[in-house]
Amino acid sequence: MVQTSLFRNANPKERNQLLQHTQLLYNAVDYFKDYFVGKEVVYCTKDSHISLRFSKTNFMYLCGLYYPKG
C-alpha cells in the first residue's frame, strides 16, 4: 500500500517540468515494462542476497509520483 503522506502536490514549476518531460516518462514506462515488470532482480553481496520482483504498479512509486486512482 502506498503511503500518501510521503508525497505532496507538485507546484506550478514542477508541473511544467513534468509536462516538458512527458515523452521521457513514456519512454521510461516502456523500458520498465520491457525489462522489469514480471521479472526478478537479484542483488548479491559477499555474504547475502536479496530478490526483488517488480510489477507495473511499482513504476509511479519508483519515479516519486503518486496519483489517486480514478
Tell me the pLDDT tens digit for each residue of 21-61: 888 889 998 999 999 999 999 999 999 999 999 888 888 87
Answer with the residue of higher pLDDT: 62 or 26.
26
| Assigned domain for 25 exists | yes
Q: Give how far Cα 55 sits from Cα of 16, 24, 39, 48, 49, Å.
A: 28, 20, 8, 24, 20
> Cβ(40)–Cβ(51) under 8 Å?
yes
| Assigned domain for 16 exists | yes
The number of domains in the chain is: 1
pLDDT at 8 over 90: no
pLDDT at 69 over 80: no
What domain range includes position 55? 10-62
